[in-house]
Every structure is written in structure tokens, then in C-alpha cells.
Structure 1
Amino acid sequence: MLEKADLKTEISENDFKQQAKELKAALAALQQPIKQNKLPVIILFEGWGAAGKGSLISSLILNFDPRGFKVYSVTEPSEREKREPLLWRHWLNIPEQGKITVLDRSWYRDVSVARLEDPISDTENLRRMNDIKAFERQLTDSGYLIIKFFLHISKKEQKKRFEQLESSKNTQWRVTETDWKRNRRYEDYYRVFDEMLECTSTENAPWHVVSGMDKTAAELEVFRTVVVDCINAALKRQAKPAITDSPIDTGDSPLLPMPKLAEIPLDKTLDLKGYKPRLHELQDELSELHGKLYRKKVPVIIVYEGWDAAGKGGNIRRVAQALDPRGYEVIPIAAPDREEAARHYLWRFWKSLPKDGHIAIFDRSWYGRVMVERIEGFCTEEDWRRAYREINEFEEQLHDWGAVIIKFWLQIDKDEQLKRFQERQNTPSKQWKITDEDWRNRSKWEEYETAVNDMLQNTSTKFAPWHIIESQDKKYGRIQTLEIITDAIRKRF
């Protein structure tokens, strides 16, 4: 892509003033329709050192109301960020609906300069680029607009600008020894930049290579691309027709065969005499494994889903009893709040990932997208059909990070649920556990069963399999989950 860029682009001062005035007025008028249409916008700048990214960003944001945008300067990851999944810190900074995020460098550092400066293999670099493409596709599929600029200058021009910066005491700090090393290896960096651009320029998030040789011409090109080619086009774009009969896309993740819920036997029981010793034995083992997880810096993510009154709370308590309270967190998931609902649905789960060596227990999870949100109409059919692939990609990235992922569906039959509902309703100390929503969900049992079967079939992967827990007998279910957890952690080591 770089060889096609015209580095000779220039513009006269008069032409610049006339065009800039019109484009700046158009930029200033954009934020209100962006807000009204709830369009989240990400504008990112990559490019050569001294190509003019900083001055271009400064010129761009002067046209925006500061209440409607944020600028992030992406530097090398901190020690904490290095221990998180590759895209973790970038997910945290995505804008909410109707706002703009401007990035001075971005996630592309990890597949460009890092390629030459960190020990990254070709295989790892390809995996990273695929993760980035998945990240950008997930955002744009849910309504985000991503505008990507690469500012291109020649080796000779870069050297000239470095020398100019170094000639003044006020600016010499801006040129580092790393900058000079990159200039001397310009051809090597050219190759990795070009490969990055070719691989990650997609229909949903294309690259715009801009000549930075003439800063005024670059400014006009960026303004015109942002206003005319991208934001105005996104605001005018017609909504796509709803997808109602297309096959479900689960991505490239290897799926495991799963039984239907109706095929699960629920006749297993465990008496108190057999339950107590086994419970303590497994809790002791898990306690020891928790210390090893912390020492080895291995994160664990445990997901609990299941029918209302299936015993998730009691099951989670028996697991938590074995853990050091400083090293785990139980994360109850309810309806998203205003801030969460204004972003991609996975944002709040990226925010809640455990530190390495810690355990996160999700009491309900991102699977609400393909269950309650599907059944209750909180998202479109296109949204939940697309979610299977997005969830598989999310969990695969967590697995590649090094996390142990354990997913439980707690299964009971409809009669047992009714019995537990009535017990809660008739016991004063348990009445808070039963709500009108529980009864409403029960009336849709068959719809939920269909959705759960689809979820199990489309998201049980080799790296994050589903485990259906027979929870008709709560004691049996608790032992089952503890055995699976300890076994999964042992296998990780």
C-alpha cells in the first residue's frame, strides 16, 4: 500500500485557506448529528515518527466540542498491561454511542514496530493481526465507525525533521535514540508497516495512507476523509435489512458435540454422608491449587449460567469457601447500566477480567446476549446470531492469553424449578429470591430451552467447553463443579 502513496502532494496557501475554512465548518457541524444518531466514532493515527500525527490531531480536535471527544496517546504497554490480553487496554477506551475517540497510535503498535523490537514470531504476529481484525469487525458490526490514517513520509524527510527538532533546546527531547535507530532501519520498518496495512485494511475498516510531506495538504486530506468520505457517509447509510434466516456463523473455532438439555439425566443424588467428606477434600485441593495459580500467574475465568433457582448461588459459595479472598472476585451480572448499554456489549466483560494469577467467577455472563436478550427482544436477531462468533473469538483470545476458562450450565427440570419457587415464596427469609421476573421467565421455558441448546451447540469449544451440571440434587451438582474446576486447573499445569 505504501508504494501507491503520492509523496509529492502539495497545495498553495490560498487553496488551503479556502478549502480548510469549508472543511472546518463541516467538522464543527458534525457532532450534533453524531450525538443524535448515537454514532460512536474512532479515529486513529499511525505513521512514521515526525510525520505530523500530533499537529494533525491538534488541528482536528479544535473543530470539536471537547465534551464530545477524548484523545488517547497510546504508548508502550505498562508492566500491568503486558500481563493482560493484547487488546484489553484498547477495549477499555472505546467510546460510548454518540462520542468520538481520537487515538495517537493504537493497537497497531503490536503488529508493526513491536515486530522488529520485541521477540515476536511470524505465527504470533499473524494471530495478533487476526485478533485485531476480529476486534474491529465486532465494533463496526455493532455500529461503530473506525477511521484509520497512516501518515507516510520518506526516509530523507524524516531525517531532516529529526535534525530540525534536535537543533532547538525546546524540541530536542522529542527525538530519541530509538527514533534514530528506526530511521537507520527505515527499509525494515517500511516492510512491516506495509505488511500491516495490507493485512488489516478491510472493507469495514480500511486504511487511508496520507502523505505527510506537506503538512497543509495532509490536514486537508484528513479533514476531507473524516467529513465527506466517512462520517457523513455513515450518518446517511441506510440500516441493513434484518437477517432472519441466514445460517449461524460460529467462526473458525473448533466446536465440541453437545447433548440437548432434554437428554441430560437428572436422577443422580448424593447423601450427606458422602457429600461432606468429598466437599472438604475438593475444597482443600482447590485451596492449594489457588496458591499455585497465583505463583504461576495463571488467570481463571469461571462462568455460571443456568435456570432460575438451579442453585448457582450455593454452588458459587462452595467454590469461594476454598479460595483466598484476596485472589478472587464474584461478578454478578445484571441488566447493563447506562454506561454499559452505550458501548459494545462485550466492553463490560473486558473490564471485569481477572488479573493474572486471580480467579473471576461470573454469576451470569456475556451469554445473556444469546439468551435473555434474544428472548426478550433486547437486541436484534442479527445481533444475537452474530454473537456466537464474537463470543468464541473473545474466549479464544482469553485462552491464548493463558486463561483457564470453565463454563457451567446448571440444569434442573421444570417441576423442580416450580418446587423451589414455591419454597422460596413460602419461606419469609427466602422471599427476596423470587421475583415477578422469575415467574415471567418460567412462562417462556420452552423458548429459553431452545436458546440454551443453540448456545451449547455453537459455543462449546475445545478451549472453552461447556459443562452441563446435573443440579436436581444440589449437593451432587456442587461436587460435580468442584471436580471439574480442580481437574481443569490441574490439567493447565
Structure 2
Amino acid sequence: MLKDHVKGNVPDKDVLKTMIREEEAKLSGSLMKIKEAKLPVMVICEGWGGAGKGSTLGKVINAIDPRFFKLKTYEGTPSDDEKRYPFLYRYILTIPEGGKFTFYDGYWMHEITDAVREGTLSPEEYAKRIESINRTERSLHDNGYLIVKFFFNISRKEQKKRLEELMEDKDTEWRVSKSDLKENSRYDKCLEIYDRYLTDTNRSIAPWYIIDAKESKTAEWQMLGFLNQSIDTALKNKALAVPILQNTFPLVQMPKLSDIPLEGKTLTDEEYKETLDKLKKELRDLHYRLYRKKIPVVIAYEGWDAAGKGGNIKRITGALDPRGYEVHPIASPEPHEKSRHFLWRFWNRIPRTGHIAIFDRTWYGRVMVERLEGFCSENDWQRAYNEINEFEKELSDWGAIIIKFWVQIDKDTQLARFTDRQNTPEKKWKITDEDWRNREKWDLYEDAVNEMIEKTSTEYAKWYILESVDKKYARIKALEIVIDQLKEALDGKRKNK
């Protein structure tokens, strides 16, 4: 893209000033439309060191009410703490709410291109990163985000001149990094790397706009024009449905809930206590090894109301060092969560390497309660199966062990437990009117759960059914599954497929 870029015609200075003012007024005038449409806008500025990204960005931002935007700067190299999370983690955390802008002075490009330049990223890892970026940008777009990407382009000669001018002034020399100097000395190699990256990540839903940055006013005019054009298009497309993608991930065949036998899945109190003590000791020892080898674990719980998720989680955490895990009870999204991509609040809860995150309810609410209660559109929940598989694939490729439990009971067992909660003062807080309403929709929820399990039980993130008419049986089965999965990972037998 950079090599083939053809510079457009630029108006003379007086005309250019007028056109810039017109574009600024247009941008300012679109703010209320963006707010009313709840359109989240990501403006990503990349380019050569010294190309003027920051100064041009500053001028463009002046046309926007400061209550409508945030500015975020990313360094090419993540911190030691950030390295303990997936590649996408630190970038996803800063995506904007609906109706607002986030301007990025650098995003995920230079973390990749710097590593390629230094020879620390293999071709296989590069391909994975590109796939992750393209998937994520597509998912953001499909969930209503506008992504506008700019690359500020200057020649080698121009870059050298600007870097030297900055270094001559004590007040600006700090703006020139070793990476900038290295980039200029190896300009041709960097040009090859950048050109490839831009080509690999140039998609119709998030295209690259090349900015001729030799003249600052020209750069400002081009950026404003492309941004306004993109906003106009996004507002017009806001109401259009998004295509549902075919699943491309290997699935594990799973039985329907009605075909899972619950009779006979019981343990005596003596069997339970003896097995529980043994398994908890084994899990405790594995947890220490897990931390030492820095393997992250995600355990996700879904199931019927009153199925015993909480007690099941308690038996697992009872065997773990409390410094190495966190339980996340998931309720309805808060307003600031609801106004972002539905997976954003779960990215915020991903464990660092060596730690365990346990979710009491999960991202699967999108295809269950949100689907059945009308909290999202049909297009939203139909897309979510693939988006969830992609999310879990990111975690798996990062090295996480993903264990997903559905806690299964029958309608009679649920009714007995509901009645017990209703009639027992110390348990009454556990039962709500919503629980009774959901029970009336049992058949609809069962159909949704069957579809969910069928479409998201992948080889790298399989569903496990816990038969929980006898809670003791379900607790032991969960412990055994967790232990088996940790052993496979620690012994090097588990493969990310």
C-alpha cells in the first residue's frame, strides 16, 4: 500500500484553510448525531516517527467537545505486567463507549512491526497476530464500532530532517526515541514491513487511509476529510444487519440436555468426604505448579437456577491458594459495560499468567438470557456464537486452559430447591421473582442451551456437563475434570487446537 500510494491533488493554501474550517465545522456538527446513534468511534493514528501524528491529532481534536473523546497513547513494547496477558488485552480495555471517540496515538501496529524488525516475532506468530487483529476489527465493526485508521507517511529524507531538528532543541529532543533513529537508519526494511502490515490488515470494514504528512495543513485536511466521510457512512449503515459468519472452528459433538441421564449419579456422604479430601490436596499441589509454569486458567460456569453452581465453585476454590485465583460473579451489565462490545467486560476479567479466573455466569448470557429476554437483536445473538468461539480461541492460543461447565438438573429438582429456598428464612435471599419467571420459560431456555453447547463446544474449549441432582456428585466430577485438564497442560500433553 505504501509503495503504491499515489498522492492526490492539494488545493492552494488559502483554499486549504477554508476547506479545513469547513471540515472542522462538519466534524463538530456530527457530535450529537454520534451521541444519539450511540456510535463508538475509534480513530487510530500510525506512521513514521516524526511524521507529525501527535500534532495533527491535536489539531483535529480541537474541533471536538472534550466531553466526547479520550486520547490514548501506546508504546510499541508492552510492560512486564502487560506481557502476562493476551496480546489483545491492553488494547481491548480502552475501546470507547457508544456515542464517544477514542483517539489512539499508536495502537497495536508497532508492537508487531517492531518485533518483526528486531527478529523476535516468527512468521507463524506474525500470521496469528494478523488474524487476531482482523478478527477483532471485524467483530468490533459488527457490534457497531467505527474504526478509522490513518498512516502518516513521509520520505526517509524528510524523516531524517525532522528528527535532527527535534534533537537540536533541548525541549523537544525527548520526543526522538532510539526506535525512531533505528527506523530511519533502516528505512527501506521498515518500509517493507509496514507495507506488508498495512496490506495484511486493510479490510473494507476498517480500511487504511494514507496521509501525506510532508505538509502539516495537508495532513490535517486529509485526516478531517476521511474522518467525516467515515462517520457519514457509519451513521447511514447503523441500522443495517450484519452477515452471520460460518463456523470455522473444530467442534466436539455433544448430547442434548434431555439425553443426559441423571439417575444414579449420586455419592454417599462417606464416598464424598473421602474423595473430596483427596482431590482437594491434589488440586492444591497442581495450583502451585501452575503458578510456577505461568499457565493461565479460565473456568466458566453456566447452569440452571438452583443447580448448585455456587457450592461447586466453593469446593474448587477451597483447594486453591487465595492469592492465585479470583471468582467473578456476573450480573446484568452496568451502563458503561452495556455501551461497549459485549465481550469487553470479560476481557477486563481475564487472569494473568499463572492465575485462575472462575466465572459464575459468563459471556454465554448473550445467547441465553439476552436472546430470550430481548436484550439484544436476533442478529446480535446469532453472530455471538462465532464471536465467542473467536474470543476463546484467542485465550487458547495465548496458552490458557479453558474449562466450561453446564450444571444440569431436571425441572422437579429445581422446583424442590426453589420451594426449599422460599420456605427457609436463611435461604430466602437466594430466590427471586425472576427465578420463577425464568422457570416458566424452561423449554425455551433448554432449546437455547442445546444450541449454545452444539455451536460452541470446540476442541480447545469443550463443554462439560455436571449432573447435579446430587450436588456431591457434581462437585467431585468438576474437581476431577479440572485436575485432569491441569495435569494435561502441566505434563505437556494438552495441545491448543
TM-score, normalised with respect to structure 2: 0.96
CA contact (8 A) 1:250 1:392 kept: no
Q: Paired residue for 2:343? A: 346
User: Is residue 467 of structure 1 aligned with residue 468 of structure 2?
Assistant: no
d(CA) in 2 for partners of 1:213 and 1:251? 45
User: Is residue 417 of structure 1 aligned with residue 405 of structure 2?
Assistant: no
**2:280 corresponds to which of 275, 280, 283:** 283
d(CA) in 2 for partners of 1:395 and 1:164? 48
Q: How many residues align?
A: 488
Please give the per-residue CA displacement for 1:380-402, whole angstroms capped at 9, x wherever unaligned: 11001100111011111111111
Q: Paired residue for 2:232? A: 232
d(CA) in 1 for partners of 2:245 and 2:161? 51
d(CA) in 2 for partners of 1:477 and 1:2? 58
Q: Paired residue for 1:153? A: 154
Equivalent residue of 1:4, what SS?
A: coil
d(CA) in 2 for partners of 1:328 and 1:341? 26
Output the aligned Cα RMSD.
1.4
Deviation at 1:363, TM superposition (A): 0.3
Please give the per-residue CA displacement for 1:197-220, whole angstroms capped at 9, x wherever unaligned: 111111111111111122211110
Q: Paired residue for 1:211? A: 212
Q: Paired residue for 1:300? A: 297
d(CA) in 2 for partners of 1:101 and 1:473? 50
CA contact (8 A) 1:311 1:474 kept: yes
Distance verdict in 2 for CA 1:19–1:100, change over 3 Å: same
Percent of matched pairs sharing the same residue: 52
Letter in 1 for 2:406: W
Map 1:410-489; keep pairs closer than 5 Å: 410-489=407-486
**1:360 corresponds to which of 333, 357, 362:** 357
User: Is residue 117 of structure 1 aligned with residue 106 of structure 2?
Assistant: no
Distance verdict in 2 for CA 1:314–1:263, change over 3 Å: same
Please give the per-residue CA displacement for 1:186-206, whole angstroms capped at 9, x wherever unaligned: 111111111111111111111
Please give the per-residue CA displacement for 1:102-134, whole angstroms capped at 9, x wherever unaligned: 000101123322211251111110110110111
Letter in 1 for 2:71: V
Equivalent residue of 1:33, what SS?
A: helix
d(CA) in 2 for partners of 1:43 and 1:134? 18
Please give the per-residue CA displacement for 1:284-343, whole angstroms capped at 9, x wherever unaligned: 111111111111111111001001111101111111111111111111001001111111
CA contact (8 A) 1:411 1:472 kept: yes
d(CA) in 2 for partners of 1:313 and 1:176? 52
CA contact (8 A) 1:7 1:153 kept: no
d(CA) in 1 for partners of 2:212 and 2:78? 28
Distance verdict in 2 for CA 1:241–1:139, change over 3 Å: closer
d(CA) in 2 for partners of 1:163 and 1:428? 76
Distance verdict in 2 for CA 1:158–1:454, change over 3 Å: same
CA contact (8 A) 2:294 2:354 kept: yes
CA contact (8 A) 1:197 1:207 kept: yes
Letter in 2 for 1:31: L
Q: Paired residue for 1:128? A: 129
Letter in 2 for 1:278: T
d(CA) in 2 for partners of 1:121 and 1:172? 33
CA contact (8 A) 1:305 1:365 kept: yes
Q: Paired residue for 2:251? A: 255
Letter in 2 for 1:19: M
Equivalent residue of 1:419, what SS?
A: helix
User: Is residue 327 of structure 1 aligned with residue 324 of structure 2?
Assistant: yes
Greater mean alpha carbon deviation, residues 478-487 or residues 427-436: 427-436
CA contact (8 A) 2:144 2:238 kept: no
Gaps of 5+ in 1: none
d(CA) in 2 for partners of 1:354 and 1:418? 36
Q: Paired residue for 1:79? A: 80
d(CA) in 1 for partners of 2:102 and 2:187? 30
Deviation at 1:250, TM superposition (A): 5.4
CA contact (8 A) 1:333 1:365 kept: yes
User: Is residue 185 of structure 1 aligned with residue 182 of structure 2?
Assistant: no
Distance verdict in 2 for CA 1:335–1:250, change over 3 Å: farther
Q: Paired residue for 2:53? A: 53
Q: Paired residue for 2:404? A: 407
d(CA) in 1 for partners of 2:25 and 2:211? 22
Deviation at 1:241, TM superposition (A): 4.8
Letter in 1 for 2:183: R
Q: Paired residue for 1:33? A: 33
Please give the per-residue CA displacement for 1:416-466, whole angstroms capped at 9, x wherever unaligned: 111111111121111111111111111111111111011111111111100
